[in-house]
Amino acid sequence: MEKQQEPVGSETIASFPKEVQKSRIPTSCPMCKGTVTLATFPYTAKLTRGGKPVEVHMEKFTSPKCTKCGEILFTRDSDDQITAAMREHLTSSS
What is the structure's pLDDT at 82?
96
Q: What is the pLDDT of residues 46-94, one digit of tens each?
A: 999 899 999 999 999 999 999 999 999 999 999 999 999 999 998 987 6
Instruction: Tell me the pTM.
Output: 0.70
Structural domains in the chain, CATH included, are: 33-92 (3.10.20)
User: Got the DSSP string for 19-88?
Assistant: HHHHTT--SB-TTT--BEEEEEEEEEEEEEETTEEEEEEEEEEEEEEETTT--B---HHHHHHHHHHHHH
